Amino acid sequence: MPAIDDRFHELHAKSLTISQEAETLFPDGVTHDGRKFGPFRVYMDHGLGPRKWDIDGNEYIDYRTGHGSMILGQANPAIVKAVQEQVAKGTHLSASSELEVKWGSLVRELVPSSEKLRFVSSGSEAMMMAFRMARTHSGKTKIIKFENAFHGWADAPFVGAAADNHNNGIPQGVRDTMVVLPYDIEAVEKALEGGDIAAVVFQGNQVMQPSFIQQLRDATTSHGVMLIFDEVVSGFRFSRGGCQGLYGITPDLTGMAKILAGGLNGGCVTGRADIIDTIAPGKIAHPGTFNANPLSAAAGSTALEMVKNEPIGEMADARAAQLKAGINDILQRMEIPGCAYGVSSIVHMRLGLDHECDHEYCTEGEQAMMVGSGAGDDTTALLAQAVVNEGVWGGPTSFILSSTHTEADIDQTLESYERALNSVRSEGAI
C-alpha cells in the first residue's frame, strides 16, 4: 500500500467504518456528488471559523467552506445567535414574516440588478425559476448556456454540464430547449441570430475575462434577449454586489444562493421587476414550503448585514491573494508545471501544464482556460488524499476562502501543501 494511502487509513479509522455503512444506504455512499472521496469518505463532526474536525479528531483548515456558502466561517457567533433565537420562536409559521422583508430589502440594496425578487430553497431552484421566468416573459423557448457550466441539477440547467450524459433521464425534448456553446462570442452572436432564444446564462464564478462578459451583455442587448447571471457562488463573494458588482455589468435576471442564506438553505431570483412579475395569476404559479422560511431568513439577513457593513469580502480576498502567491512560489521552487489563479476569494490550481499565466484569469493565447487541473485524474486524486493527510480540507485544485482565515492559517496551509506535493512526488506521480 502506498505511503499516502496507508497514512490516510491510519488517520481515519472511524470514518472508514461509517463510510462502509453509508455504502449500504446511499448511491455511491454519499448525499452530494461533490462529497465523493477515495478510498473512502471522511466524516466531519464540527467546525469553528476557518477550521473543522472529523469524527476521528483530526483538525483541518477548511477550504470548502460549505461549498462556498460559509464566507463568515463555521459557527459564526452572530449567525448562531440569530438562528437560536428564531428556532425558539418557530421554524415554520405557515405565513409571511417580517424577516423575509428585511432579507429581501438587503438583497435589493446590495445587488445592482435587483428591482424585485422571489425566494426559493436552493441554487438549483433559483436557476430553474430564472429559466422559467425568461421563457414566460419572452414567449421564446431556448436558453443559451456554455460548455461544462453548472447551473444546478434540474433537467434543463444540467444539459451540457461537465457530468452530463445521455443516460441520465433528461428527455431529448428538454435537451432541445438548450443551446450549449463554447466560450466564443462569435458562436453566441450566430445563435442569437437564429431566433427563439429567450436568454443567455453565464456562470458568475467562471473565470473569464471581463471583456467577454461585457460582450455577452452587448450581444444580448442588441438582439433583445435576456442575460441571466448565475451568482449562486459569486453572489456577495466577488463583491458585495457579486460578479455584476465587480465588473459593472448588469444582467436582466440573477440566481443566488449559498452566502445569501448565511450558510443555511435558501436561494432567490432577482432582477428586472417586469420579469420577476411573471409570477402572477395566469402565468407562473410558485408555491414552496420552505421559501423564505424563518430560519434561513434570520441567518440570511444577519449574514447580508455583515457583508454590507464589514470588510468580509476584502478579508477573504486578501487571504486568497496570499494563498495564490504562496502556491505559485511552491510550484516554481519545486519546478512543477502549473499555476494558481483566480478572482476574488476563490483560488484555482492547474498542474502539469507549462504556460504563461497572469495568475488571475489564466489566459493562454486568446482562450480563457477553464477551471480545473491539467494533471491526470490519478495524480489529482492522490494529491487530494495527501492534502487531507496534512490537515487541509479542500482542493487539491480549488480553494474557497472565508473572512476568518488568517495570515497564519495561510502560512500553515502552504507548509502543509508543500509537504503533500513532496509526498506525491515521492510516489512518482509528479
**What is the predicted pLDDT for the residue at 418?**
97
Long-range pairs, 213-219, Cβ under 8 A, ≥24: 213/243, 213/247, 213/249, 214/247, 214/249, 215/185, 215/188, 216/185, 216/188, 217/249, 217/250, 217/251, 219/185, 219/188, 219/189, 219/192
Distance, in Å, from the CA atom of 119 to the CA atom of 420, rounded to the nearest integer, reads 42
Section 164-184 average pLDDT = 95
Distance, in Å, from the CA atom of 279 to the CA atom of 287, rounded to the nearest integer, reads 10
Q: What is the pLDDT of residues 82-117, one digit of tens each?
A: 999 999 999 999 999 999 999 999 999 999 999 999
Q: Is 339 a residue whose pLDDT tops 50?
A: yes
Q: Are 263 and 67 in contact (CB under 8 A)?
A: no
Phi/psi of residue 158, nearest 5 degrees:
-80, -15
User: Rounded to whole angstroms, what are the CA distances from 317 to 204, 345, 371, 402?
Assistant: 16, 4, 18, 8
User: Rounded to whole angstroms, what are the CA distances from 202 to 121, 143, 146, 243?
Assistant: 21, 11, 7, 10
Nearest to 334 by CA among 243, 414, 237: 414
Long-range pairs, 161-166, Cβ under 8 A, ≥24: 163/33
Residue type at 287 in one-letter notation: P
**What is the predicted pLDDT for the residue at 199?**
98
Strand segments, DSSP code E, in 298-374 are 338-341, 346-351, 363-364, 367-368
| Element of type H or E holding 281 | none
> How do strand 346-351 and strand 338-341 relate by DSSP bridges?
antiparallel
Domains in the chain, CATH or no CATH each:
3-74+311-426 (3.90.1150.10), 77-309 (3.40.640.10)
| Element of type H or E holding 399 | strand 398-400
Q: What is the pLDDT of residues 279-313, one digit of tens each?
A: 999 999 999 999 999 999 999 999 999 999 999 99
Q: Are 202 and 76 in contact (CB under 8 A)?
A: no
Burial class (CB in 10 A: 0-12, 13-18, 19+), 94: exposed
Q: Are 50 and 73 in contact (CB under 8 A)?
A: yes
Nearest to 65 by CA among 412, 392, 299: 392
State the pLDDT confidence band at 368, using cuts at 50, 70 and 90: very low
Residue type at 227 in one-letter notation: L
Burial class (CB in 10 A: 0-12, 13-18, 19+), 89: exposed
Q: What is the pLDDT of residues 52-81, one digit of tens each?
A: 999 999 999 999 999 999 999 999 999 999
Distance, in Å, from the CA atom of 383 to the CA atom of 137, rounded to the nearest integer, reads 47
State the pLDDT confidence band at 377, using cuts at 50, 70 and 90: confident
CB atoms under 10 Å from CB of 333, counted, come to 9
